[in-house]
Every structure is written in structure tokens, then in C-alpha cells.
Amino acid sequence: MGKLFGTDGIRGIANKQLTPELAFDLGRAGAYVLTKSTNHSPKIIIGMDTRISGDMLAAALTAGMCSVGATVYSAGVVPTPAVAYLTRKYGLDAGVVISASHNPFQDNGIKFFSGNGYKLPDALENEIEGYMLEKTSELPRPIGEKVGRSEICTNATDDYVKFLGSAVDNISLSGMKIALDCANGATYIAAPIIFKQLGAEVFLMGNEPNGVNINHDCGSTHVNALSKFIKETNADVGFAFDGDGDRCFAVDESGKVVEGDEIMTILGHQMKKSGKLANDTIVATVMSNLGLTLMGKEHGITIERTNVGDRYVLERMIEGGFTLGGEQSGHIILLEHNPTGDGILTALKLCSIIKSEGKPLSQLNNLMTILPQVLINAKVAPEKKNDYLTDETIISEIKRIEEKFENEGRVLIRPSGTEPMVRVMIEGKDQNIIETEAKSLAEKIEKLFG
């Protein structure tokens, strides 16, 4: 068996790669590793999205944790950032989310948060993985009254909604018409509640999950559906979340999509004005558009770049004492409030700016010019995601493209951390040329390693 953890926990096809047996072993090892230095039994909260396989994996994971003496609190369907927040609020040892985020419903995943609400560093994930693969007898098996138990966490959604309101000072959204696309996922309960509580007139789509329709033609991966919905409802602004609710795209009143880099630009500009943008810096990833860097130079904002993955963005934010970071994909981390991307919070912050500035989103989104960018996913065999790095044909082709776009664009080739794909991204001045080059390279990678 290869390495289990990717850039965002463990993912795979539910009941095939991500089996109940694997979840059971993960529960045992995770609960032990995260609390072995303490002298009390583990206390862990579990939340999940709406996938049909969630109950199966939650049951197995819970059983594994209880077998090492843990008390497990089941939060039911809540967004990923809710688990990060509630782990801290309740003073628990760890939080766990069962979700595959933006992936199709057949997939699922399991990711851990430490007691401070942070995703686990590589060292801890490696330790957990070691116990799982070695099937070590070191893990405890308490008996009698020391066996763990499971409890329902009845206040999870209410406490998370209260947190969201407090993070925006319970602003009034009265008079605003807001469209929400909940991706038939984890935000479908909490998002409508908080926007309605703050006085908005809310129009909903993607809010009728049935276990198999999560992310299906809706949510942040199919945001054009929200653009159409905005025009149908005449809403002032719209927000599309992903399956687990840690990312968000916005859509302005005309139906134009506002992506992660643009959202960070709007938030960063406002935070700089109010003195809340620490060190006048935004932390982004290597996938963020070159236009973000150019915006920063024009407006006195430093753009730092990390590897892809919100965990790496967070690590750099903590190291540098920065308050705003995120990804082009809509993961926005507002570290003053929560150490993970939070789609609903991001949407509320944008609404707060719209209200305070008295301008529609289209007028606020005029600080950054997006350079043409093409991203093509080359489908490869899971065990061959890194083979392109040593293949002379592909190495030579990448070098040729890099030389072609030198000084007027960027070329970035990287394996996906969550899916069996190699992502080919090219930026440049001419859309047709970069599309041709990206498609050609992706086809060659697929032919060799698909």
C-alpha cells in the first residue's frame, strides 16, 4: 500500500479505496496519536457532508476511535470550517471531517484537525499512517468502563451560526437579495439560516441533497448555474459553495463570476484600509493568477506564494503572522476568525463590504486584471502521478514551453494532491496559443501515463 494521505487527508472511491476497514484503522490510529501525550481519554468531534457513504464511514471511524477509549461527538452534516471552529470552542482533542470536498459523490475522504483547529502537519499524518500500516499492537484496547462512547452533538449548527454572525458583528443585510448555491452539500443547513437571520432575502439552489447529487451541476465547480440563477431571481449578489463548505465563489449582479484571487483582492484592499491586513501581505499559492501579483505591486500589497493546498497557505500565514490568505479555487483563510477556509464566512465578509461601501460587487471588483490562464487536467493512473517528472519526453516538452513563454507568462505542471490527475497550467497574453500548448502537453501526459 502506498502513501495514504494526500494534500487534504485521505480520499478515494467510497467502499473501494476508502473502505470501512480503512476508516476503522484510521480512527484507532488517529485517536491514539493525537492524544497519546495526554493523560485523559480522547474527545473528538466528527462532521460530514451529504454523501451517501458518509454514514458508513462515520460508523466505522467512530467504532475505531471508541475502541481506543475515545468519546466521539457526532455533529452530523456541517461544513468543514464548522468542525475546525467547534473543536476549539468545545476544548476537544481533535476534529474529523468526512468529505471529498468538490469531488463527485462516489468519492469520499477523511481529514483530521488538531485541538487548535489546524489541519495536521505531514509529520503527524506520517505517524498515524505508520500505525495503520504496521498494524501495531501498541494501540490500547481498553475494556469495561474505559471503552469509548458516541454522543450526538445537538448544538453544532447553532453554535457555528452564532460564530458566523459574531465574525461580521451581526451586520444587517436587510434590503439585500442574495442567491446561495449550496452544492447540495454541507452548507445547505447553516448558510440559509445565517443569511436570513441577518435580514437578507435569500434565494436558494443546490439545497436539496439526496446523497448522490452533491456537486452535481451546482456549487463552486459549476458556478455558471448560479450566474443564470442570479439573472432569474434579480439578486444583488450570489455565492456558490463547494461540497464541504470551505470554499466560495461569488457572482456579481450581472452574472459575472468572481473567483478566489479577485475575492482576496477585494478583502485585502478593505483590510489594508482598516489596518487589519497584517504586514500588508496576502498569502496565495503558485496557482494564483499573475494578475494578483501585479495588483499587489500597484496597491502596496505583498503577495507571497506557497505550494498548492490551503494547509501550506495556513503554515505560511502562521509563520509570518499574516491574516489573509487563500487559493484561486476559493479557499479563503481569515485567520482572525478561523484557521481554515470558510465559504460562508467569506460570503458574509463580502456582503459586509458591499453594505459598508454602498457599491455593488461589480464596482468593488475593479482592482485586479486577470491574465489569460488555461488549466487542463491530464487523467493518469493513480500510481503514475509523478512519473512525468522523470520522463525525458515530457521534461523536454515542458522546457520548450517555458522558454516560449519566458518573461510574458508562467508554466506550472503539478500532480493533483486529491485526484489521479496531472494539472497543466499556462498563463500568457494570447488565449489561443496557451490553450493549444496546454492541451497538447496534457494529451502527451495522458497518452504516456493514463
Catalytic residues: 101
Identity of residue 189: I
Cell of 107: 468519492
Cβ atoms of residues 228 and 219 within 8 Å: no
According to DSSP, the residues that pair with 6 across neighbouring strands are: 9
Separation CA 264–CA 281 (nearest Å) = 11
Separation CA 408–CA 386 (nearest Å) = 27
The backbone region for 440, taken as left when phi is positive above 0, alpha when psi lies in -120 to 50, beta otherwise, is alpha
Q: Which helix (H) or strand (E) holds 441?
A: helix 431-449
Which residues make Cβ contacts (< 8 Å) with residue 29, sequence separation at least 6? 64, 128, 129, 131, 132, 139
From the list 92, 73, 98, 47, the residue with the least C-alpha distance to 149 is: 73
From the list 92, 105, 16, 108, the residue with the least C-alpha distance to 58 is: 108
Separation CA 195–CA 178 (nearest Å) = 8
Angle at 319 between CA 314 and CA 323, to 5 degrees: 55
Which residues make Cβ contacts (< 8 Å) with residue 90, sequence separation at least 6? 43, 45, 73
DSSP sequence for 198-222: TT-EEEEES----SS-TTTT-SGGG
Separation CA 70–CA 140 (nearest Å) = 11
